[in-house]
Chains A and B, each alone.
Chain A
Amino acid sequence: ETGVTQTPRHLVMGMTNKKSLKCEQHLGHNAMYWYKQSAKKPLELMFVYSLEERVENNSVPSRFSPECPNSSHLFLHLHTLQPEDSALYLCASSQDAAPTYEQYFGPGTRLTVT
């Protein structure tokens, strides 16, 4: 596979469930990101990892828990979500976290919380 992949592509979960989103990049990049895209709102940066260390956490509720076991993989663990957390969750990667580099995005996971 090439580029950035995300699984699952669609997820429906109840408020009491625990699930995880997975992202994998095949580009040899050192930085990875999670974004939330809600209808009618700009993309919101959630987390940034550089060389497997979290370098940015934009006041995201603790019900979202990221994990970066290595530079190619990024997870977003979800538990006790709220209906307003329903959104498209996008993963991205870049060569490193410096502003010079463009980010490459995966196709996203469409999450619906019921």
Chain B
Amino acid sequence: AQKVTQAQTEISVVEKEDVTLDCVYETRDTTYYLFWYKQPPSGELVFLIRRNSFDEQNEISGRYSWNFQKSTSSFNFTITASQVVDSAVYFCALSELTGANSKLTFGKGITLSVRP
């Protein structure tokens, strides 16, 4: 069975600090996909990134960067120079094939508060 662990539950930082959100996953599949979603106070989850299991290249998008390490089954997310608008709940998720369709398993989420 697949599992996603986000050990940090709440993180509070001051604006402009860098912050890393950790994600560790478990799966028996060799082919799988990892995702990060952001849930601001408005409620809807916003897709941030998708990574497949064969692509271990790190990715940077503006102030966001992701570090995928298969050896440690981790897919960590770093926000550089955090801003108040980054305050949200962040979910890591794992998708693997179940029959003909995928099943997306979410971690419990990390509540990030960025103080001015």
Within 8 A of B (CB), among A11-31: 31
The answer to whether A99 touches B43 (Cβ under 8 A) is no
B64 interface residue, CB < 8 Å from A? no
The answer to whether A107 touches B101 (Cβ under 8 A) is no
- Select the residue from B35, B44, B91, B97 with max chain A CB neighbours within 10 A: B44
Q: Which residue of A lies closest to B9 (CB)?
A: A40
Please give, as numbers and ranges, the residues of chain A lying within 8 Å of B52 by CB-CB distance.
Answer: 100
The answer to whether B47 touches A102 (Cβ under 8 A) is yes
Within 8 A of B (CB), among A68-114: 88, 90, 92, 97-100, 102-108, 110
Separation of A16 and B18 alpha carbons in the complex (Å) = 50
The answer to whether B47 touches A104 (Cβ under 8 A) is yes
Q: Which residue of B lies closest to A91 (CB)?
A: B44
The answer to whether B106 touches A42 (Cβ under 8 A) is yes
The answer to whether B42 touches A103 (Cβ under 8 A) is no
Please give, as numbers and ranges, the residues of chain B lying within 8 Å of A106 by CB-CB distance.
Answer: 44
The answer to whether A99 touches B44 (Cβ under 8 A) is no
Separation of A50 and B101 alpha carbons in the complex (Å) = 9
Separation of A50 and B37 alpha carbons in the complex (Å) = 22
A48 interface residue, CB < 8 Å from B? yes
Q: Which residue of B47, B91, B101 is within 8 Å of A98 (Cβ)?
A: B101
In the complex, how many angstroms separate the beta carbon of B34 from the nearest chain A beta carbon? 10
The answer to whether A88 touches B95 (Cβ under 8 A) is no
Binding site for A on B (CB under 8 A): 4, 31-33, 35, 37, 42-47, 50, 52, 91, 95-109
User: Which 3 A-B residue pairings sit nearest by Cβ, starting from the closest?
Assistant: A99-B102, A97-B101, A99-B95
18 examples of A-B residue contacts, CB within 8 angstroms: A4-B44, A31-B101, A43-B106, A45-B103, A56-B101, A90-B43, A92-B45, A97-B100, A97-B102, A98-B102, A99-B31, A99-B32, A99-B104, A100-B33, A102-B47, A102-B50, A105-B46, A108-B43
